[in-house]
């Protein structure tokens, strides 16, 4: 199992993308929550309120998810991070049954 961490500019975008990923069965579940970020952009430090999606999926779907996010995300450079995760057997079985 992997987690895909995706930052978004606002709540609506996060919900739209999260729902899209679940509807396409690229992931079994997404969690969405607000964060505050500091980052370098065009030579200066920016501070922003963002919304994060953590998508729960299988390794085999990562490239598809990256491609979909790049096509629909409003950021010029979206943050898409893959995190390998260990998970209990029951949850993994559920996850496998819910995604393509």
List, for residues 58-69, the tens digit of each pLDDT value: 999 999 999 999
Which pair of structure tokens corresponds to residue 41? Answer: 């952009």
Residues near 6 by beta carbon (within 8 Å), at least 6 away in sequence = 17, 52, 53, 54, 55, 69, 73, 78, 79, 80, 81
**CATH class of the region 2-98:** alpha beta
Q: Are 22 and 95 in contact (CB under 8 A)?
A: no
Task: Output the pLDDT for position 12.
Answer: 98
Instruction: Please tell me whether residue 78 adopts helix, strand or coil conformation.
Output: coil
64 in Cβ contact with 82 (< 8 Å): no
Q: pTM for this structure? A: 0.94
For residue 54 the two structure tokens come to 């953590």
């Amino acid at each position: 199992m992997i987690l895909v961490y995706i930052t978004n500019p606002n709540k609506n975008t996060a919900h739209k993308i999260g729902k899209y990923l679940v509807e396409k069965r690229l992931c079994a579940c997404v969690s969405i929550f607000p964060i505050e970020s500091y980052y370098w952009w065009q030579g200066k430090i920016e501070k922003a309120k963002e919304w994060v999606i953590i998508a729960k999926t299988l390794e085999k779907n990562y490239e598809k998810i990256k491609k979909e996010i790049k096509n629909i995300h409003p950021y010029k450079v979206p943050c898409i991070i893959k995190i390998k995760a260990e998970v209990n057997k029951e949850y993994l079985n559920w996850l496998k049954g819910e995604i393509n």
